[in-house]
Chains A and B, each alone.
Chain A
Amino acid sequence: MTHFSPAACVDYFFNYFLMKGVLVTIGLTAAGVVGGLILGMGIALMRMSSNPVLGGFARFYIWFFRGTPLLIQLVVIYSGLPQLGIKFGVITCALVGLTLNEAAYLAEIVRSGFMAVSAGQREAAWALSLPRWVTFRRITLPQAFRLMIPPLGNSINSLLKATSLASVISVEEIMRRSDMLMQEHFQILEVYAAATAYYLILTSVWDVVQRRLERHFSRSTATRSPRAAARAPSPQVGLEVNA
């Protein structure tokens, strides 16, 4: 016997309790990205440094947090650390767990972005006697950032979905609130269909934003179109100088 109530599904979709959970999911994702990026950059710099202590620590960090499931990390932070006297609030636990985990992946993305900027760029900067911080901020970083956008975008997509694991430590985001709603009337498929719809909306919106970002940042490295190359170049009267 099958029964599914599309009306109930729609009701759950517009349920305020669930919608507040969506906000929590978004908040967790945003915090995870920002925290993960800051920490990840730090780890990446350590990884790329010639100092063996820093490099070793960075390599260990990345190995550990990429080598264990996010779920275990969250559970240990929430339920295990109190045994050592370290106790955080629920949301803090989630933020710490997500940030530490995300940083490990972002560190590798940041590092590969920097390594992909061609050596010739650095050599040109040296030949121009540009100060080191100018080379980093004006030459290397902008180019590395452009290269990082696709894998970074992919990472954010993953993080949006990974926040659902915080439900296990009772953070009231989409998944947890769906569980709670489900236990009221046991309309399992209806509740989770609504939750699924929200995840799809969030990831799809992010996809659009990511594509916009990619396009925006690649516009300045645009190459000539084949048609433009075929046309003979003609000198333009009147200079537009908008540097």
Chain B
Amino acid sequence: MTTDIDGDGGTHPGMHEAPAVRMEAVYKYYGEFTALNEIDLRVERGEKIVICGPSGSGKSTLIRCINHIEKHDQGLIYVNGVELDDQRKNIDAIRRDTGMVFQSFNLFPHMTTLENCILAPMTVNGMAKQEAKDIAMHFLTKVRIPDQASKFPGQLSGGQQQRVAIARALCLQPKIMLFDEPTSALDPEMVKEVLETMKKLAEEGMTMLCVTHEMGFAREVADRIVFMNEGKILEQAAPEDFFNRPTSERAKTFLDQIIR
């Protein structure tokens, strides 16, 4: 099914090059509270977006709507050209193509590192066990903890657990990686090892949407900073422009507090 993403009613060379993520007039409510207020966002393939803003601005809600962990109430969301509606097959297709890394890691505590990683390829893609193990070891090596393959999450440090979580998400070979404050629960020493891993991923061309407070990382890696406040996107700019010449008052206040 080809979606006419440009709305111009015709076919053209770029038609199958759908943007990675497209959100149009997206709203999300929790009862009376508007968590997402008319969100319009477009992310191209290979782009690295950092979403930042004060607490409660809706940053996490935004990326959690992309893979339907939260359900948006109004508006349209397209991921790799597939519309995120209520159809099970669309939701599953989108989730297969997006990997998510959580602030609290959410590793399965009763399974080893390796078992955590092979579960999805085997049950979602019907992969054979050995093939899944090979893929898992490839990604565990990539995040530099192949030696922890038979350990349980409880035996690993926070930084190691988060890297396992990244490897686990990569095992389905997603096209987009979503990071929801991946380093917020880590000691400063461990933050570095996780950010290094994310940088490597970025360099290899992965499309990434990252909610984070790590402004150093944002400066280095992001193609675009998306600044949110109270459910609205106030500004979108390249890091250079955002950090040096913020246009909104709220962004200025925010940056003053972050960069001493």
Q: How far is the CB of A155 from chain B (nearest CB, A)?
A: 23
Whether A216 is near chain B, meaning CB under 8 Å from some CB there, is no
Contact between chains at A240 and B150 (CB < 8 Å): yes
Whether B146 sits at the interface, judged by CB under 8 Å, is yes
Docked pose: A239 CA to B92 CA in angstroms: 34
Interface Cβ pair total, 8 Å cutoff: 99
A131 within 8 A of B: yes
Q: Which residues of A contact B118 (CB under 8 A)?
A: 243
Bits for A122-137, please: 1 = Cβ < 8 Å to B, else 0.
0110111111001000
Is A222's CB within 8 Å of the partner chain B? yes
List chain B residues, Cβ under 8 A from A240.
149-150
- Contact size class for B? 35 or more
A221 CB contact (under 8 Å) in B100, B150, B154 = B154
Q: Check if B150 sits within 8 Å of A123, measured CB to CB.
A: no
Does any Cβ of B come within 8 Å of A241's Cβ? yes
Which of the residues B98, B109, B149, B150 comes within 8 Å of A127, measured between beta carbons? B98
Smallest CB gap from B165: residue in A: A124
Per-position binary interface string of chain B over residues 163-185, scored 1 when its CB falls under 8 Å from any chain A CB and 0 otherwise: 00000110010000010000000
Interface stretch among B16-24, B74-82, B119-127?
Answer: B119-127
- Chain A hits for B157, CB < 8 A: 229, 233
Check A236 against B147 for contact (C-beta < 8 Å): yes
CB neighbours of A220 from chain B (8 A):
109-111, 152
Beyond known contacts A127-B100, A239-B147, A243-B133: 13 more, CB 8 A cutoff: A123-B100, A124-B102, A124-B106, A124-B107, A127-B67, A128-B120, A128-B124, A128-B168, A138-B108, A142-B110, A220-B111, A221-B154, A239-B150
Q: Can you show 25 pairs from A to B with CB atoms below 8 A apart? A: A120-B106, A121-B108, A123-B100, A124-B100, A124-B107, A126-B68, A127-B67, A127-B95, A127-B100, A127-B169, A128-B95, A128-B168, A130-B120, A138-B123, A139-B108, A142-B110, A146-B110, A220-B111, A224-B154, A229-B157, A239-B137, A239-B150, A241-B150, A243-B149, A243-B150
Which residues from chain B sit less than 8 Å from chain A, CB to CB?
67-69, 92, 95-96, 98-100, 102, 104, 106-112, 114-115, 118-120, 123-124, 133, 137, 146-147, 149-150, 152, 154-157, 168-169, 172, 178
